């Protein structure tokens, strides 16, 4: 295979994975909307995290980290649609945490998902459709936060942009159960 062909296939894979991530985010958002419409958001909060967890788990490590970066930005946008100044600022903070989580340390993604649980319970007026959102987010965000915590502590998710000497968790040995 010529060098140009490799670049083409790498670009094509990157484009395909990017589209796949957008579809995952859109599907997750759609399912959240449908379950909120049907007043089953709290019950659906238990299986819904499986969409991003299973959808991203088997991607290549750098692609998986990029996917969780995209989902963390999506997480930060939860209340930004209200247009309230504080909510838009929090969205900016989550975007910064997500980008820093990708380039510096995935621990920032873990922090973002767990902090969002507290932010969900901040006093605010929600439309009746979203009345269950804080409790549902506690379940949804908590499960994803636990998954990300496991991925980072086990060395399965590290930033490709830092040297291995900066990573304090040993990756799992090959052949280890």
pTM: 0.87
Q: Are 108 and 101 in contact (CB under 8 A)?
A: yes
Report pLDDT for 81. 77
**pLDDT in the model for residue 57:** 96
pLDDT score, position 17: 97
The vertex-26 CA angle with 23 and 30, nearest 5°, equals 135
- pLDDT in 10s for each residue of the chain, 177 residues: 677 788 889 999 999 999 999 999 999 999 999 999 999 999 999 999 999 999 999 999 999 999 999 999 999 898 887 778 888 899 999 999 999 999 999 999 999 999 999 988 888 887 888 889 899 999 999 999 999 999 999 999 998 877 666 655 555 566 555
CA distance 40 to 42: 6
- Distant-in-sequence, close-in-space partners of 19: CB < 8 Å, separation ≥ 6: none
Q: Is the dihedral of CA 84, 119, 169, 55 positive or negative?
A: negative
pLDDT at 142: 97
pLDDT at 79: 81
């Amino acid at each position: 295979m010529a060098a140009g062909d490799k670049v083409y296939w790498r670009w094509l894979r990157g484009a395909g994975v990017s589209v796949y991530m957008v579809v995952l985010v859109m599907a997750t958002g759609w399912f959240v909307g449908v379950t909120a419409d049907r007043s089953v958001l709290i019950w659906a909060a238990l299986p819904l995290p499986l969409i991003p967890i299973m959808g991203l788990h088997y991607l290549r490590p750098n692609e998986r980290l990029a996917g969780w970066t995209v989902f963390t930005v999506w997480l930060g946008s939860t209340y930004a649609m209200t247009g309230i100044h504080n909510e838009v600022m929090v969205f900016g903070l989550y975007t910064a945490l997500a980008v820093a989580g990708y380039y510096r340390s995935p621990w920032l993604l873990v922090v973002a998902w767990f902090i969002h649980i507290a932010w969900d319970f901040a006093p605010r007026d929600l439309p009746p459709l979203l009345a269950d959102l804080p409790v549902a987010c506690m379940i949804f965000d908590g499960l994803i936060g636990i998954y990300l915590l496991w991925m980072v502590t086990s060395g399965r998710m590290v930033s490709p942009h830092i040297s291995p000497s900066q990573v304090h968790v040993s990756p799992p040995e090959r052949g280890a159960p």
